[in-house]
A and B are shown apart, each in its own frame.
Chain A
Amino acid sequence: MTELPRLPAAGGCRDTPILKQRGQREVFCGLTGIIWLHRKMQDAFFLVIGSRTCAHLLQSAAGVMIFAEPRFGTAILEETDLAGLADAQDELDKVVDELLTRRPDIKQLFLVGSCPSEVIKLDLSKAAERMTQRHAPSVRVLNFSGSGIETTFTQGEDACLASMVPVLPDTKERQLLLVGALPDVVEEQAIGLLEAMGIGPIKVLPAPRADDDLGVGKGTVYALTQPFLGDTHDALTRRGARHIPAPFPFGEEGTTGWLAAIATEFGVAPDLFEKVTAAPRARARKAIAQAAEALNGKSIFFFPDSQLEIPLARFLTRECGMDAIEVGAPFIHKGIVGPDLDLLATGPTISEGQDVDLQLDRAKAAKPDLTVCGLGLANPLEAEGLATKWAIELVFTPVHFYEQAGDLAGLFSRPIRRANLLKLEAAE
Chain B
Amino acid sequence: MKLTVWTYEGPPHVGAMRVATGMTDLHYVLHAPQGDTYADLLFTMIERRDHRPPVTYTTFQARDLGADTANLFKQAAQDAYDRFKPQAIIVGASCTAELIQDDPGGMAETMGLPVPTIPLELPSYQRKENFGADETFFQIVKTLAKPMERTKQITANLIGPTALGFRHRDDIQEVTALLSDMGISVNVVAPMTSSPADIALMGAAHFNVLMYPETAESAARWMERELGQSYTKIVPIGVGATRDFVNEVAEMTGVAPYLDTSRLRLPWYSKSVDSTYLTGKRVFLFGDGTHVLAAARVAQDEMGFEVVGMGCYNREMARPVRAKAKEMGIEATITDDYLEVERTIEALQPEMILGTQMERHIGKRLGIPCAVISAPVHVQDFPARYSPQMGIEGANVIFDTWVHPLVMGLEEHLLHMFREDFEFHDAAGPSHHGGHSPLADAGGPAPQTPRDISSQEKMQGVDVIWLPAAEKELKKIPFFVRGKARRNTEVFATERGVAEISVDTLYEAKAHYAR
Task: Give residues in A with beta carbon < 8 Å to B.
Answer: 23-32, 39, 42, 49, 51-53, 55-57, 59-61, 63, 65-71, 73-79, 81-82, 86, 88, 91-92, 94-95, 98-99, 101-105, 115-116, 118-120, 147-150, 152, 357, 374-380, 382-383
Residues on B with C-beta less than 8 A from A23 are 59, 79
**Chain B residues, Cβ within 8 Å of A119:** 65, 96, 99-100
The answer to whether B52 and A42 touch across the interface, beta carbons within 8 angstroms, is: no
Contact B49 A379 (CB under 8 A): yes
- Is A74 a contact of B62 with CB atoms below 8 Å? no
Q: Which one, A60, A81, A105, contacts B41 given CB within 8 A? A: A60
A42 touches B96 (CB 8 A): no
Q: Is the CB of A101 within 8 A of B453?
A: yes
Taking the complex as formed, is B268 at the interface, i.e. its CB lies under 8 A from any CB of chain A?
no
What's the least CB distance linking A181 to chain B, in Å?
A: 16
Contact of B3 among A32, A68, A73, A379 (CB under 8 A): A73
Q: A25-B37, A63-B45, A65-B361 are in contact. Are A53 and B94 (CB under 8 A)?
A: yes
Check if B40 sits within 8 Å of A77, measured CB to CB: no
In the complex, are the beta carbons of A69 and B41 less than 8 A apart? Answer: no
Which 7 A-B pairs rank lowest in CB-CB distance, beginning with the nearest?
A: A29-B35, A148-B35, A376-B40, A383-B50, A68-B446, A115-B96, A148-B33
Q: Are A379 and B44 in contact (CB under 8 A)?
A: yes
Q: For A25, what are the chain B residues with a Cβ–Cβ distance below 8 Å?
A: 34, 37, 59
Residues of chain B within 8 A of A73, CB atoms compared: 3-5
Other than the given A31-B35, A94-B1, 11 more pairs (CB < 8 A) read A28-B37, A42-B447, A51-B11, A68-B446, A78-B2, A82-B125, A147-B33, A149-B60, A377-B52, A379-B50, A380-B49
- The CA of A115 and the CA of B97, in the complex, are separated in Å by 9
User: Chain B residues with Cβ under 8 A from A81's Cβ?
Assistant: 1
Would B3 and A116 count as touching, CB distance under 8 A?
no
Q: Is the CB–CB distance between B50 and A51 below 8 Å?
A: no
Interchain CB contact under 8 A, A52 and B52: no
Decide: B365 and A67 in contact? CB cutoff 8 A: yes
Of A57, A76, A150, A382, which contacts B1 at CB under 8 A?
Answer: A76
**Interface pairs (14), CB distance under 8 Å:** A23-B79, A27-B37, A28-B37, A53-B11, A65-B378, A71-B447, A79-B126, A101-B453, A102-B451, A102-B453, A376-B40, A378-B45, A379-B49, A383-B50
Q: What separation, in Å, do the CA atoms of A149 and B32 have in the docked complex?
A: 9
Q: Which residue of A lies closest to B45 (CB)?
A: A375
Say how far B193's CB is from chain A's closest CB, in angstroms: 18
Distance in Å from the Cβ of A311 to the closest Cβ of chain B?
A: 23
Q: Please tell me if the beta carbons of B124 and A53 are within 8 angstroms of each other in the complex.
A: yes
Contact of B44 among A70, A74, A101, A378 (CB under 8 A): A378
Most-contacted residue by chain A among B11, B35, B51 (CB, 10 A) = B35
Residues on B with C-beta less than 8 A from A52 are: 4, 7, 9-11, 95, 124, 128
Measured between C-beta atoms, what is the minimum distance from B298 to chain A in Å?
26
Docked-complex contact A79 and B62, CB < 8 angstroms: no
Judge whether B14 is part of the interface by a CB distance below 8 angstroms: yes
Alpha-carbon gap, A51 to B32, bound state (A)? 13
Q: Which residues of A contact B128 (CB under 8 A)?
A: 52
The chain A residue with its CB closest to the CB of B13 is A53
What residues of chain A lie closer than 8 Å to B49, measured between beta carbons? 379-380
Report A65 CB to chain B, min CB distance, Å: 6
Query: What's the minimum C-beta distance from B21 to chain A, rounded to whole angstroms?
Result: 12
* Interchain CA distance A30-B61 in the complex, whole Å: 13
* Assembly CA distance A39 to B446 (angstroms): 10
The distance in angstroms between the C-alpha atoms of A78 and B1, with both chains bound, is 6
A104-B448 Cα distance, complex, nearest whole Å: 10
Instruction: Kindly list chain B residues whose C-beta atoms are within 8 Å of the C-beta of A49.
Output: 1
